[in-house]
Amino acid sequence: MATRESPTPPDSARRPHTTRNLLIAIVALVVLGGVAVGGYGIWYLFLSPTGPASVASEAPTIPKNANVAAPASLDGTWNVNASLGAMSDFTASWAGYRVQEQLAGVGANTAVGRTPLVSGSMTLTGAVVDNVQITVDLTALKSSDSNRDNQLRRQAINTDQFPTAMFKTTQPVDLGTLPAEGQTVSVTAKGAFSLHGVTKPVDINLQAQRQGGIIAVSGTLPVVFADYGFDGPNSFAVLSVDNHGTMELHLLFTHA
């Protein structure tokens, strides 16, 4: 006896089933995508390595095993020494920035960029510090994100056009008495800060200590971007950036 074949359902009968499967697939992709993005955000906020601490929360660091003999007299010129310490633990001489940003799919983040290309000097006479002049090569700023670093070349501080920043004192800093070796002192230095082609009078808060022939100095300076004629950087990954940040420095001086 011949087998009777089942009739093929018409297209109109198959269409609801096909549409339902397609909708299920789309929903599944959306859910999986949301989990992936959410998972990345959770990883970034809670499991990713934390950025370097602000120098405002710590005393300046003199590198271990950096044995530099104290000069016969502390008076004279002291130069920024680029050969001491390391950038891996930020015990070297460096300068940089710290600013809050909002990243797409991630949320709040503290962007920190630093460069070891810093030069400068100061003079010490008794307990008076004078003639401080520090120059920073901004083109070497590095953060945790190379895309952010590239943006700064063309946006915000625009390092392609304004490659350096500078601070110089406009009046002496009187310590009163020279601090004992290993003692940390806090002072405020009045000076002029130049950034993005604009120079402004500033007061910068500094901490300093001496060990042997090394004077370590750290400091922070609040910077409102509009005061220096620029806005924060923007890109597809950055939803917003605060309109201000902090300039940070950590310098190791040795006697000339």
> What's the pLDDT at 252?
98
Q: What is the value of pTM for the model shown?
A: 0.78
Contacts 24+ apart (CB under 8 A), 20-25: none
Beta carbons of 151 and 210 less than 8 angstroms apart: no
- Phi, psi (5° rounding) for residue 157? -70, -15
> Measured between alpha carbons, how far is 52 from 201 in angstroms, rounded to an integer?
28
pLDDT (tens place) for every residue of the chain, 256 residues total: 444 555 555 555 555 555 555 545 444 444 344 333 343 333 333 334 456 888 876 789 999 888 899 999 999 999 999 999 999 999 999 999 999 887 766 678 898 999 999 999 999 999 999 999 999 999 999 998 898 898 899 989 999 999 999 999 999 999 988 889 999 999 999 999 999 999 999 999 999 999 999 999 999 999 999 999 998 766 656 666 788 999 999 999 999 9
CATH of domain 56-255: 2.40.128.110
For residue 110, list its beta bridge partners.
100
In whole angstroms, what is the distance from residue 148 CA to residue 237 CA? 10
Output the pLDDT for position 189: 97
End-to-end CA distance of the chain: 111
User: Do 93 and 120 touch, CB atoms closer than 8 A?
Assistant: no
Dist CA 1 CA 33 (whole Å): 55
Give me the long-range contacts of 24-29 (CB less than 8 A, separation at least 24). Answer: none
What is the length of the chain? 256
pLDDT at 21: 57
- In this predicted structure, what is the pLDDT of residue 36? 38
